[in-house]
Structure 1
Amino acid sequence: MPNRHCRLFHVDAFTRQRYTGNPAIVVLDADHLTDEQMQTIATEVNGETAFVLEAESGDHDMQVRFFTPRHEVPFVGHATIAAQYVRAKKDGKPGGRLRQRTGAGIVEIEVTDVDGDLRIAITQNPPSLGPVIPEHHRRQVLNALGISSPSLHVDCPLQVLTKGGSRLLVGLKSNDLLGAIKPDFEELARLTSHVGAEGYFVFALVENNGVVGTESRMFVPALGIREDAVSGNAHGMLGVYLVNHGLMTPKDGRVVFQGRQGMWMRRPGMVEVAIESSGKVAQSVRIVGDAVIVYEANIQA
């Protein structure tokens, strides 16, 4: 519609420090926008954009649609953190629990006060464990990432996981190797249809003072994202993968760890991951993150 204005926010997610973490755009009160207008806005701002809308039925409290600069996608973790942070902060929405409808189904949101600011938690069903890719595709992917076979963690098969989008998980034996990755983005995009994964999530286990966590990098050139700063959705996949392959052992049916990403982009951020499981089978995934508003604006749609 002409002459209608929207409130737009630029938010950094999985951080409390501006200009770090993963940036997302949030548009509030987007119910009057058409699909074409949503896509136009996402293309104009050249970022992953979350459009917040009212609920359409009684099984959810509100809904969010996600657009990349190229097309709509079912779910974006960091943009969900950003959208719920803005909604609570700027519209004074109550904290506690709510249900958010997405293209990937309904996810549970919890907004809590932590250290004088808001923290957002997303709880959802676990991703699907896909195939371990065959040897000839394995070699192609490693060549495209600039990774040698001896650099791989021996207990980490190259496996596809899917939740909304799909990612190929690649485990390295040391986090020191993450900085040496030299991706061939054109080749990685070409391989997407062959390996069945839109992106490549490369990670390593790290231990600090006896506490195990992860460091990672992610490349999604098929979606127009050469390197993603900090991905909540991929960290959920990673948690399920680590439990399934026995790389993290549940205590009282739960695994909790911190995943760090974005250091090589000078946009460090942190995701807290909790997996509820029965043995090696994940029952639910919880992603927790902070956010900070960088700026807000009124735009004409």
Structure 2
Amino acid sequence: MDLQQIDIYQVDAFTMNIFGGNPAAVCVLQQWLPTPVLQQIAAENFLPETAFFIPGKTATDFELRWFTPEIEMDLCGHATLATAHVLFHHIGVPGNNITFSSNSGVLPVSKKGAILTLDFPSRPPEPATLPSVFLEGLGVTPTAVFKSRDYVVLYEHESIIRQLQPNPALIHQLNIDPGGIVVTAPGESVDFVSRFFTPQASIFEDPVTGSAHCSLIPFWSKRLNKTTLTAQQLSARIGELYCTDQGDRVLIGGACKTYLVGKIFVPTHHFAG
């Protein structure tokens, strides 16, 4: 059987440390494979996200897609950061700026020292009501609930976010693909903290969720009356994010560390449309 080799990288995003942040696979393609094959690769990787990119019209322009083990996502922050890291540090893209074309529009990424910064659309959340089964699944009554793509659930103290032990069986009853539930509170050493849970997903708690900060940044910028903020996502792996509210756009910065470099092998007939 003829096999096509695909370069693959596994990168820990939004962290300075291996085994921290959120792991993403990044696959280097020259042309798009059929969507079912991309989904099979993501399921085989079984990481929170697998990113695929192909070259664009210039040396710093690329097309980008993201897949969880189950579905294609409309937007993913940590896998975008990981892809930029691969392009800058492994493939050697010149300069300090990359542009991705995606299902969420044009997404610029800039590099300054060890920090990569995503330029993403802002998604301010609006007041909302959660189903009672979800409130029961969280186990602690929130101060307020909001929603954009994701539910944003507000608590008073960081300690509540750290100690929260949601009931997956109850939360998995919700169907809000491709969104999730982000719980958040003021931070003790940073401006705000969060955790992110995904109903009906095989990976229930996402370690660090860049796209959720499209809602968290405008939310906390308004509440704290400041446009530059620091954030932590308090999963077991811990993520650190540097955030800026720019109105209709948000900047989400973080570091990356490469964990794995390798190759995967796909039968050649899968490359046919």
CA–CA distance in structure 2, aligned partners of residues 300 and 128 of structure 1: 41
Aligned letter for 1:52?
Answer: F
- The alignment partner of 1:190 has SS state of coil
CA–CA distance in structure 2, aligned partners of residues 197 and 128 of structure 1: 17
Tell me how far 1:197 sits from its aligned partner. Answer: 7.6
Structure 1 residues 29, 197: closer, same or farther in 2, change over 3 A?
A: closer
Q: Which of residues 231, 244, 256 is equivalent to 2:228? A: 256
Q: Report the structure, 1 or 2, having the larger strand content.
A: 1
Contact 1:46 / 1:69 at 8 angstroms: preserved in 2?
yes
Tell me how far 1:71 sits from its aligned partner. Answer: 1.7
Per-residue Cα deviation, 1:33-69 (whole angstroms, up to 9, x for no partner): 32222111111111210001112x68x8111111111
Aligned: 1:174 with 2:161: no
Aligned: 1:185 with 2:183: no
What corresponds to 2:213 in structure 1? 235
Q: Which of residues 147, 155, 174 is equivalent to 1:160? A: 147
Superposed, 1:42-61 pairs within 5 Å as 42-47=42-47, 48-55=49-56, 61=61
Q: Which of residues 197, 201, 205 is equivalent to 2:182? A: 201
CA–CA distance in structure 2, aligned partners of residues 247 and 170 of structure 1: 14
Aligned: 1:97 with 2:67: no
Aligned letter for 1:230?
Answer: V
- The alignment partner of 1:62 has SS state of strand
Superposed, 1:102-113 pairs within 5 Å as 102-112=102-112
What corresponds to 1:18 in structure 2? 18
CA–CA distance in structure 1, aligned partners of residues 173 and 41 of structure 2: 28
What corresponds to 1:279 in structure 2? none
Contact 1:221 / 1:227 at 8 angstroms: preserved in 2?
no
Tell me how far 1:129 sits from its aligned partner. Answer: 3.4
CA–CA distance in structure 2, aligned partners of residues 62 and 107 of structure 1: 10
What corresponds to 1:269 in structure 2? 239
User: Over aligned residue pairs, what C-alpha RMSD do you find?
Assistant: 2.1
Aligned: 1:297 with 2:262: yes
- The alignment partner of 2:115 has SS state of strand
CA–CA distance in structure 2, aligned partners of residues 41 and 197 of structure 1: 19
- The alignment partner of 1:65 has SS state of strand
Superposed, 1:217-232 pairs within 5 Å as 217-232=195-210
CA–CA distance in structure 2, aligned partners of residues 64 and 11 of structure 1: 16
Aligned letter for 2:129?
Answer: I
Per-residue Cα deviation, 1:100-139 (whole angstroms, up to 9, x for no partner): 1111111111122x2xxx42111122115345126xx2x4
Contact 1:198 / 1:223 at 8 angstroms: preserved in 2?
no
CA–CA distance in structure 1, aligned partners of residues 124 and 186 of structure 2: 22
The alignment's TM-score, normalised by the length of structure 1, stands at 0.81
CA–CA distance in structure 1, aligned partners of residues 110 and 37 of structure 2: 30
Aligned letter for 1:300?
Answer: F
Aligned: 1:81 with 2:81: yes
Deviates more, 1:67-76 or 1:26-35: 26-35
Aligned letter for 1:206?
Answer: G
The percentage of counterpart residues that share the same residue type is 25
Aligned letter for 2:224?
Answer: M
Structure 1 residues 259, 2: closer, same or farther in 2, change over 3 A?
A: farther
The alignment's TM-score, normalised by the length of structure 2, stands at 0.89
CA–CA distance in structure 2, aligned partners of residues 293 and 175 of structure 1: 30
What corresponds to 1:144 in structure 2? 137
Structure 1 residues 2, 74: closer, same or farther in 2, change over 3 A?
A: farther
Aligned: 1:129 with 2:94: no
In the comparison of the two structures, how many residue pairs are matched?
264
What corresponds to 2:6 in structure 1? 6
Contact 1:169 / 1:200 at 8 angstroms: preserved in 2?
yes
